[in-house]
Amino acid sequence: MNVVIVGAGKTGLFLVEKLRANHVVTVIESRPERADYVAKRMPNVKVVRGDGCEPSVLDRANVGHADLIAALTGDDEDNLVVSFLAKTTHKVPMVFARTNHPKNEWMFTKHWGVDVGVSTASVIYSLIEKEVSLGDVITLMGLSAENMVIDALTLTASATAVGKSIAELNLPKCAHIMAIISKGEVTVPHGDTVLSIGDEVLILSDCGEETSLRKTFGVHAEAR
Note the pLDDT tens digit of each residue in 32-46.
999 999 999 999 999
Tens digit of pLDDT for each residue in 160-207?
999 999 989 988 877 878 778 887 676 778 888 999 999 988 887 766
pLDDT at position 131, please? 45
Within 13 A of 96's CA, how many CA atoms are on the CB side?
30
pLDDT at residue 116 is higher than 90:
no
- Mean pLDDT (whole number) for 13-17: 87
Confidence of residue 133 (pLDDT cuts 50, 70, 90): very low
- Which position has the higher pLDDT, 222 or 161? 161
- Which position has the higher pLDDT, 175 or 140? 175
Strands 116-118 and 94-98: parallel
Tens digit of pLDDT for each residue in 93-102?
999 998 887 7
Tens digit of pLDDT for each residue in 20-30?
988 999 999 99
Which residues of the chain form beta strands (DSSP E)?
Answer: 2-6, 24-29, 46-49, 68-71, 94-98, 116-118, 149-154, 175-182, 185-187, 200-205
Find out whether 210 and 216 touch, Cβ atoms under 8 Å: no
Domains of the chain: 2-131 (3.40.50.720), 149-217 (3.30.70.1450)
Share of the chain above pLDDT 70, in %: 79
pLDDT at residue 144 is higher than 70:
no
pLDDT at position 28, please? 98
pLDDT at position 141, please? 42
CA distances to 18, 112, 213 from 115, in Å: 21, 9, 22
pLDDT at residue 112 is higher than 80:
yes
